[in-house]
Amino acid sequence: LIRQCYDNLDNSDVDNHLLREDIQNSDDFYFGRLPGPAATGRSSAVALECQTMCTAVSAEIIQGFTSDQPAAFEPVGDGDQPAAELESYGIAQVLEDQDGYGVLSAAIDSALRYKNAATLVTIADSTETETETLKGATAEQAAMLIAQLPDGVEAVVKSATDEAIEVEITQTTQKINIDPIDISLLRYRKDWHKSDISDIPFIGIEHHDMTRAGLLELFPKKKDIIDALPATEGSPVYDSATRSKLVGEERSVTSA
């Protein structure tokens, strides 16, 4: 998003207070380049605190994405557990096969460098406990089953009789929450990078749950896209009835 904004500044009607110059200044600080020629008799050495801090923070954040299961899908009904596990495994495979962790790390680093972000990512721990009754199982069989449980799953034998063994299973999972932030809300003053930060405004972000309808509000509507299309024969905007139908479908999808 940052690079796209950078490339489209000439065609943008959003006043970002010389964002192009701000991005260049950010790169200069990050890579240790002087913004101009060194003063006579002064050293040209530049500290790399910005790069060091961005790298350190990025390394801490990326740890949340480097587990065997970076995202976990929850079953929505009875019998959905196998499908949810398969989808969770699929996300991990996509990230691994497409160098997804490297892309995430680069995105986090860029967001820190340019003091800009489009998403807020949090990781929430959740614990679920359920009781399983193993009918006709022996103590040895129950112990073997418990030993084969994956990491993050604990089991404790609550009771044992000749007829059945009752086992309490506790599973701890991590869920990634991603909250979109409207990129147009981010504004900077020209002196955002000055050393005195006493009067520089900061953006405070409060974590909150967002519905699918709320998420859709952050993106262009189908009607806006249709309005931008050329009114040539065969296009959706050429026929008014077709256009009304498409706009009506957009409303129904958004309201749903």
Confidence of residue 190 (pLDDT cuts 50, 70, 90): low
Q: Taking residues 171-197, what's their average pLDDT?
A: 56
Query: What values do phi and psi take at 130, rounded to 5?
Result: -140, 160
Which pLDDT score is estimated for 209?
Answer: 58
Residue 207 has pLDDT above 50, yes or no: no
Range with the largest mean pLDDT of 49-63, 84-98, 202-216:
49-63
SS3 assignment for 111-164: HHHCCCCCEEEEEEEEEEEEEEEEECCCHHHHHHHHHCCCCCEEEEEEEECCCE
Question: What confidence tens digit (pLDDT) does each residue in 11-41 have?
Answer: 444 445 555 666 677 777 777 777 667 677 7
Could you tell me which residue, 181 or 74, shows the higher pLDDT? 74
Confidence of residue 203 (pLDDT cuts 50, 70, 90): very low
Contacts of 157 (CB under 8 A, 6+ apart): 139, 142, 146, 165, 166, 167, 168
Could you tell me which residue, 183 or 157, shows the higher pLDDT? 157
Confidence of residue 83 (pLDDT cuts 50, 70, 90): confident
Residue 201 has pLDDT above 50, yes or no: no
Residue 125 has pLDDT above 60, yes or no: yes
One-letter identity of residue 198: S
Which pLDDT score is estimated for 240?
Answer: 43
Could you tell me which residue, 230 or 162, shows the higher pLDDT? 162
Q: What is the pairing mode between strands 119-135 and 153-160? A: unpaired
CA distance 253 to 219: 14
Per the DSSP assignment, residues forming a β-bridge with 171 are: 128, 153
Question: What confidence tens digit (pLDDT) does each residue in 104-123 have?
Answer: 677 677 777 766 545 555 66
- Cβ atoms 118, 108 nearer than 8 A: no
Confidence of residue 215 (pLDDT cuts 50, 70, 90): low
Which pLDDT score is estimated for 236?
Answer: 43
Q: Taking residues 42-47, what's their average pLDDT?
A: 69
Confidence of residue 243 (pLDDT cuts 50, 70, 90): very low
Which pLDDT score is estimated for 251?
Answer: 37
Residue 112, classified by CB atoms within 10 Å of its CB into exposed (0-12), middle (13-18) or buried (19+), is: buried
Mean pLDDT value across the chain: 64
